[in-house]
Structure 1
Amino acid sequence: MAEAGREPPRFAIRARHIFDGTAMLPANRTTVVVAMGRISAIETSGTKVDGLMPVHDLGEATLLPGLIDAHSHLVFDASDAAAANVQSASDQDLADAMSRRARAMLDHVITTVRDLGDRGFLSLTLRAETATRPAAGPRIVAAGPPITTTGGHCWFLGCEADDAETVTAAVDDHALRGVDVIKVMATGGRMTPTTAPHESQYSLGVLRAAAERAHFHGLPTAAHAHGRQGIHDALAAGFDTLEHASFMTATGMEPDPEIIEAAAVSGTIVSVTLGLLPGVHANPFMESLMPRILAHVKNMADRGVRITLGPDSGINAAKPPTVLPYAVEQFAAAGVGAAAALEAATATAAAACGLDGRAGRIAPGWDADLLAVTGNPLADITAIHQVAAVYRAGVRVV
């Protein structure tokens, strides 16, 4: 494993194929030039690069952008008691555990993570650490504690607010502390037994006040929304991403075609909660709904909704921090195909995280956050697990 600063200021990476975040480049042998942590050039003619430049020749590998987890919770320990454990842990214990989980994500091809709910703004400290030491973990896009109602979903993370005045005050406080995104719990969730996923926690007016205040500060917004009304209101309020958008009811799920069409027309990104560790059974109810969830996700994609992958990693034993590659595999298997699944976890995920132009693509000027796998994931999506190399900000970490 290389430490930050150990790579030469300028070097090249050569691989058989390159998926640039949207498509496979039409070349049989491609070289990417990295300078000072960013991609400076792409050579597809097969000619040799400057002989004075070190070359990492990865042979038959496929080079891709590093994967981006658009919805994670580094504060949760991926156990069936994750909610209870985060309440009993000290800040120092949580910070240490978050650091270990971040490093594990980097080892498993995740070079950026949007943390959509911590305790005590601990993700901001971790963000600073990984920004200065690329080998320490992925780039962190930090929300801080999610804004929720008193006793609402994930209330124990520490930011309860009930009306437009207190919600906008919470947004102001988050902005002052330096978060990258504002997360609001528009509906309840299964992780908090006192709330119901299908029931709204905020009115349209309060959600609109939150979104407008966040945008006033130049911050994007993410709405946790399971129920139909909550999804509708978050979309109408102008939230930038809809998290889950599962259309849960008291007994199952009922997707609404009109809301799906509105999401497609608006260009709002929907972060879908796929990704389960094979062989781990943590939520029988959600497992029973999985065929319908996959059909719903495929339908949204077919109707033009911009989809990214937000596994909600950390919330239970089936969702460790490293689960994202399984979400990519699951999305491809739902019928969208390998290219669309990879784009969802790279280029579209970067847009969801406010990193368009920085991450999620292999292109000149983009950060050199890169993944190499030994096979061709467009031919066989399971190749995403066959890791040959990982680069974070131009530093080889795997």
Structure 2
Amino acid sequence: MLFDGYTVSGPATVHVRGDRIVRVDRTEAPPTDGDTSVIDLGPDTTLMPGLIDSHVHLAFDAGPHPVASLIAMDDEDLLTHMRAAAQSALQAGITTVRDLGDRNYLSLQLVREQADRPESGPEILAAGPPLTTPGGHCHFFGGEVEGTEALREAVRERHARGCAVVKVMASGGTMTPDSVPPHASQYSREDLRTVVDEAHRLGLPVAAHAHGAQAIEDALEAGVDSLEHVTFLSPTGVDPVPGIIDAIAASDTFASLSLGLSPKALVNPPKELALHRDKLQATNRELHQRGARVVLGSDAGIAPFKPHDVLPYAVIDLTGLGISPLDALKSVTSLAAQLCRMEGRKGHITAGADADLLAVRGNPAEDPKALLDVEAVFRAGVRVRGQ
């Protein structure tokens, strides 16, 4: 069976040359060219595009104290950990990730390493240190900046270094308790517009970490390309604003939902999830039902229940909200590729696309739990799992 990123069809033969797909035959008959190697994945297997995780942190170790661990490591040790995190994601069939926060642009070091060895990990779209206010959320990454000209210069630096996306902390967050609370805004709408205007001038998209309603609205109005988390946290809980949800749905901005919890490490659910689970789920469901462009960014690395291979559980969680498995699969393939500005290269099995492929036992378009039963993973045409 084939899921090509958009639709499901019967038996198919995907022809790969080097790191690219050159032809897709929707037939089970193998090619007859004697120089062609044939891999038969079996009748009960679904071949699909490699998964795209729209929000990860390779620099976090998915341990009980990820911030303390990061601070304690020097750059060389941190790079070693990041390589292992990247490989863990790849083994799960995650062939592309957006790394939305690291220290000292270390993700770009991995990008350079992949130039010669793409099979060493998923393709990384790096943001570098996220823009945050002095002492603000995730300030330990080193991206503290304020003021119009300083914000412009920070965006220009990320462009010059080769980042693929700019990350800005529009609100506070739970991992930095000494900064403003998650529901509070860190930057004004004008500041966010400065970041967006400069990034778009240079051809870079902007991802905005946004929990509170004001931060979500300001980031949306400023024209960011993706809203990360979109939880509508307030001082008293979760309070979604229907008008803002409608505005998100009417816009071209993607809603990147932070779903996915690994049951292997989930002893006690996160406090916010335990207290506000129903409202968070209702908000996520409403975003999809209103027509928002929903993708999945697992936030991998931030806790033991967020290992770097957790994305399949996010797909399962999304279907638990009443969203069809097919739509959930699109959120980590073809739709995510649109967000990443890689449409045609990623998230689609078609001629000319990268040969980043995942084979699973079963049919994930009917039961997404099939994503947990990996048969094979291919990165840039190289088989990295299932040999």
Q: TM-score, normalised by structure 2?
A: 0.96
- Preserved CA contact (<8 Å) 1:282 1:316: no
Superposition pairs of residues 8-23 of structure 1, within 5 angstroms? 17-23=1-7
Does the aligned pair in 2 maintain the 1:372–1:389 contact within 8 Å?
yes
Alpha-carbon distance in structure 2 between the residues aligned to 1:132 and 1:354: 23
In structure 2, the partner of 1:387 is 374
Matching residue within 271, 276, 279 for 2:256: 271
Question: CA–CA distance in 2 between the matches of 1:246 and 1:233?
Answer: 14
* 1:259-305 superposed Cα distances (whole Å, 9 cap, x missing partner): 11111111211100101011512522223322221221111111000
1:65 aligns with 2:49: yes
Does the 8 Å CA contact 2:30/2:38 hold for their aligned counterparts?
A: no
- Partner of residue 205, structure 1: 190
SS state at 1:34 partner: strand
The whole-number CA distance in structure 2 between the counterparts of 1:378 and 1:354 is: 24
Q: Kindly state the Cα deviation for residue 80 of structure 1 after the two structures are TM-superposed.
A: 2.3
What letter corresponds to residue 42 of structure 1 in structure 2? Answer: V
| 1:4-38 residue CA offsets vs partner (Å, 9 max, x unmatched) | xxxxxxxxxxxxx001112202x3x2101111211
Cα distance in 1 for residues equivalent to 2:323 and 2:269: 26
> Runs of 4+ in structure 1 displaced over 3 angstroms?
45-48
Distance in structure 1 (CA, Å) of the matches to 2:366 and 2:334:
19
Separation in structure 2 between the aligned mates of residue 205 and residue 289 of structure 1, nearest angstrom: 31
State yes or no: 1:44 paired with 2:29. no
Give the Å deviation of 1:218: 0.8
Residue 113 (1) aligns with residue 74 (2): no
- Choose from 117, 137, 147 the match for 1:153: 137
SS in 2 for 1:54: coil
d(CA) in 2 for partners of 1:122, 1:159: 13
1:376 and 2:358 matched: no
Q: Percent identity?
A: 47
CA contact (8 A) 2:326 2:366 kept: no
- 1:229 maps to what in 2? 214
Partner of 1:353 in structure 2?
A: 340
Give the TM-score normalised by structure 1. 0.93
1:193 matched to 2:177: yes
Change (3 A) 1:316 1:48: closer
Asked whether the 8 Å contact 1:38–1:365 carries over to 2, the reply is yes
CA distance in 1: counterparts of 2:75 and 2:30, whole angstroms: 51
CA RMSD between the two structures: 1.1
Equivalence map 1:307-322=2 (5 Å): 307-322=294-309
Using the alignment, how far apart are the partners of 1:217 and 1:111 within structure 2? 26
5+ unaligned residues in a row in structure 2: which ranges?
A: none
State the match for 2:279 in structure 1: 292
Whether the 8 Å CA contact 2:315–2:328 is kept in 1: the answer is yes
Distance 1:284 1:365, change over 3 A: same
For residues 27 and 163 of structure 2, the distance between their equivalents in structure 1, rounded to whole angstroms, comes to 43
Amino acid at match of 1:381: P
Q: C-alpha separation between the residues in 2 aligned to 1:294 and 1:90? A: 38
- Residues 71 and 113 in structure 1, CA contact (< 8 A), matched pair in contact too: yes
Letter in 2 for 1:387: V
**1:187–1:225 contact (8 Å) kept in structure 2:** yes
Aligned length: 380
CA displacement 1:59-102 (0-9 Å, x = unmatched): 12100100111000000011221112111210011011000110
| Aligned residue number for residue 141 of structure 1 | 125
d(CA) in 1 for partners of 2:115 and 2:170? 31
Q: State the distance in 1 between where 2:7 and 2:277 align.
A: 28
Contact 1:277 1:323 in 2 (8 A): yes
Once the two structures are superposed, residues 26-64 of structure 1 have per-residue CA deviations (whole angstroms, 9 ceiling, x without a partner) of x3x210111121111111133331331111000121001
Q: 1:307-334, CA deviations, whole angstroms, 9 ceiling, x for partnerless residues?
A: 0001111111110111101101111111
The residue matched to 1:76 in structure 2 has which SS? coil
- Secondary structure (helix, strand or coil) at the match of 2:237 reads coil
For 1:367, the equivalent position in structure 2 comes to: 354
Alignment partners' CA distance in 2, 1:282 and 1:139:
30
Secondary structure of the corresponding residue to residue 208 of structure 2: strand
The one-letter code sitting in structure 1 at the alignment partner of 2:13 is T
- Three-state SS of the structure 1 residue aligned to 2:60 is coil
Instruction: Determine the structure 2 residue equivalent to 1:54.
Output: 37
Of 237, 240, 244, 1:259 maps to 244
Shift of 1:130: 2.3
Task: Identify the residue that residue 77 of structure 2 maps to in structure 1.
Answer: 93
Match of 2:322 in 1: 335
- Confirm or deny that 1:219 pairs with 2:204: yes
Q: Which runs of 5+ in 1 are unaligned?
A: 1-16
Aligned equivalents of 1:251 and 1:119: distance in 2?
33
Structure-1 separation of matches of 2:339 and 2:103: 22
